[in-house]
């Protein structure tokens, strides 16, 4: 987008936001490339995989030992490598965000938790004195978050979105909710593209400076137009569903039964989780 049009239009921020959301979703779709590659986790039934990841996340949350967290993380990295997920892509995706969010949450604890201080540095009216128990707690917290987020990211990277949704039914998420989630994911992408197209169409016809009120009117008009189109489309989608026998209750296809390899993977993950919890208690 040229700077000139941005200055004239003043809707560049909205256009950028929409383009950003669209490209994020496209990236998310693009990452299904990993979910479709031939790796260890990709071959595991999504229901087994969901169970495996949930028990390990539970173990990481119950553990109070940094050594155990590091051990779990090493296992996750091994699983990612066995699943052909690129190492740097996986590590960056997890650790670029965690220091920002988890770090901000635990910073106060480093200074307020009582106990011996690592050092005591007077800085004018305040004293910078991080406590050793506070630091250990912060590192443990970040390690737990890191392990849990790594597991979630690995699950998403190695499982197609549709399979992930279906596996939610095994933990008793209602079918109607799963269908609504799937349809929301399906159509939000379509409408974001539509909104981007509308902004591009406006940009291509913009030949003079527009006033603030005109721009606000344009944005509200665009929102109204999208709402109208979404209502029309929802009516058409309902008609298409009714035309194929939908009467309000959802029936879904039951996937094949889990195989021996899936059960073994699940049992293995449970064993890892149990060992992690016991080891954590022993080390404590």
Partner 1 sequence: MTIEPMPVPLEPSPAAAAAVFELHGVRYLYGGRQTALDGIDLRIERGERVALLGANGSGKSTLLKLLDGIIAPSDGTMRALGRDVAAVADGLDSFRFHREVGLVFQDPDVQLFSATVFDDVAFGPLQLGLAQDEVRACCDEALRQMDIAHLSNRAPFELSGGEKKRAAIASVLSLRPDVLLLDEPTASLDPRTKWVLVNLIRQLGEGGKTLVTATHELEIVPLIAERVVVLGENRRVLADGRPAEILADRDLLIRANLIHEHLHEHGGTSHSHDHDLEHHEAE
For partner 1, the binding residues (CB under 8 A) are: 29, 32, 36, 160-162, 165, 179, 182-183, 185-187, 189-190, 233, 236-237, 239-249, 251-254
Quickly count: other Cβ atoms within 10 Å of residue 35's Cβ: 22
Contacts of 205 (CB under 8 A, 6+ apart): none
Find tokens 């892509």 and name the residue. 89
Work out how close the CB of 243 gets to partner 1 at its nearest, in angstroms, rounded to a whole number.
5
CA-CA distances (angstroms) from residue 264 to 5, 258, 276?
59, 10, 18
Work out how close the CB of 41 gets to partner 1 at its nearest, in angstroms, rounded to a whole number.
16
Work out how close the CB of 52 gets to partner 1 at its nearest, in angstroms, rounded to a whole number.
22
Quickly count: other Cβ atoms within 10 Å of residue 122's Cβ: 9
What is the Cα–Cα distance from 83 to 186, expressed in whole angstroms?
A: 27
Work out how close the CB of 22 gets to partner 1 at its nearest, in angstroms, rounded to a whole number.
11
CA-CA distances (angstroms) from residue 210 to 205, 213, 226?
12, 8, 22
What is the Cα–Cα distance from 250 to 248, expressed in whole angstroms?
A: 7
Work out how close the CB of 165 gets to partner 1 at its nearest, in angstroms, rounded to a whole number.
6
No. of helices (H) and no. of strands (E), the chain: 13, 2
Find tokens 């229901």 and name the residue. 47
Q: Which residue number, 104 or 243, has a Cβ lying nearer to partner 1?
A: 243
Tell me how far the alpha carbon of residue 159 is from its chain's centroid: 13
Work out how close the CB of 80 gets to partner 1 at its nearest, in angstroms, rounded to a whole number.
22
Q: Which residue number, 175 or 215, has a Cβ lying nearer to partner 1?
A: 175
């Amino acid at each position: 987008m040229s700077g000139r049009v941005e200055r004239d239009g003043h809707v560049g921020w909205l256009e950028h936001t929409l383009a950003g959301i669209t490209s994020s979703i496209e990236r998310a779709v693009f990452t299904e490339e990993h979910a479709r590659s031939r790796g260890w986790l990709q071959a595991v039934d999504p229901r087994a995989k969901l169970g495996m990841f949930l028990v390990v996340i539970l173990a990481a949350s119950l553990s109070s030992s940094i050594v155990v967290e590091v051990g779990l993380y090493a296992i996750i990295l091994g699983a990612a490598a066995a699943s052909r997920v690129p190492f740097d892509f996986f590590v960056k995706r997890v650790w670029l965000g965690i220091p920002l969010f988890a770090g901000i949450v635990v910073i106060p604890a480093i200074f307020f938790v009582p106990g011996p201080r690592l050092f005591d540095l007077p800085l004018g009216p305040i004293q910078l004195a991080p406590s050793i128990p506070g630091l250990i707690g912060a590192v443990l917290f970040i390690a737990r978050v890191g392990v849990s987020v790594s597991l979630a990211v690995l699950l998403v990277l190695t499982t197609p979105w549709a399979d992930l949704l279906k596996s939610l039914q095994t933990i008793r998420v209602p079918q109607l909710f799963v269908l609504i989630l799937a349809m929301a994911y399906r159509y939000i992408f379509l409408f974001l593209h539509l909104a981007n197209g509308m902004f591009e169409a406006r940009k291509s016809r913009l030949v003079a400076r527009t006033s603030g009120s005109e721009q606000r009117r344009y944005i509200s008009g665009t929102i109204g137009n999208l709402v109208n189109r979404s209502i029309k489309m929802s009516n058409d989608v309902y008609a298409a569903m009714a035309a194929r026998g939908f009467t309000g209750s959802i029936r879904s296809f039951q996937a094949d039964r889990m195989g021996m390899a899936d059960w073994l993977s699940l049992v293995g993950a449970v064993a890892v989780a149990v060992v992690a919890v016991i080891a954590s208690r022993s080390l404590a």
